Structure 1
Amino acid sequence: MTSKPVARINSIAVSGPALLCLLLGTLAFGQPQSTSPLENTSWQLIEMRGSSGLVQRPDNPENYLLRFRLENRSAITADCNEAGATWNHEGETLTLTRLVTTRKLCEAPSLFNFYIMNLQNTHRLRLEEDRLVLITDNDMAELIFEPYVFRPTF
Structure 2
Amino acid sequence: MPKTFLLLAVAIGLSLANAAWADEPAMDKGLGGTSWQLVEFAGGDDTKIKPDDGSKYTLQFESDGNVVARIDCNRGRGTWESKEANQLTFGPMATTRAMCPPGSMHDRILKDLPYVRSYVFKDGHLFLALMADAGIYEFEPTAPAAK
TM band (smaller chain): 0.7 to 0.9
8 Å contact 1:47–1:144 — kept in the other structure?
A: yes
RMSD of aligned residue pairs (Cα, Å)? 1.8
- How far apart, CA to CA, are the structure 2 residues paired with 1:44 and 1:67? 9
Rg larger in 1 or in 2? 1
Partner of 2:116: 122
8 Å contact 1:118–1:141 — kept in the other structure?
A: no
Q: CA deviation at 1:101?
A: 1.3
Pick aligned residue for 1:108 from 95, 102, 113? 102
2:46 matches 1:46: no
- How far apart, CA to CA, are the structure 1 residues paired with 2:98 and 2:146? 25
**Helix, strand or coil at the partner of 1:53:** coil
- How far apart, CA to CA, are the structure 2 residues paired with 1:83 and 1:43? 14
Q: CA deviation at 1:85?
A: 1.4
Deviation per residue, 1:120-153 (Å, 9 max, x gap): 2101111113110000111101000011124449
Pick aligned residue for 2:72 from 66, 79, 95? 79
Q: Counting strand residues as a fraction of each chain, which structure ranks higher?
A: 1
- How far apart, CA to CA, are the structure 2 residues paired with 1:81 and 1:150? 21
Q: Percent identity?
A: 28
Q: TM-score, normalized by length of structure 1?
A: 0.72
2:144 matches 1:144: no
- What amino acid does structure 2 have at the position aligned with 1:65? T
Deviation per residue, 1:15-57 (Å, 9 max, x gap): xxxxxxxxxxxxxxxxxxxxx5211110000000111111100
8 Å contact 1:99–1:120 — kept in the other structure?
A: no
- What amino acid does structure 1 have at the position aligned with 2:65? N
Q: TM-score, normalized by length of structure 2?
A: 0.75
Instruction: Name the structure, 1 or 2, with higher relative contact order (CA <8 Å, separation 6+).
Output: 2
Unaligned runs of 5+ in 2: 1-28
How many pairs align?
119
Pick aligned residue for 1:61 from 47, 54, 72? 54
- How far apart, CA to CA, are the structure 2 residues paired with 1:104 and 1:149? 25
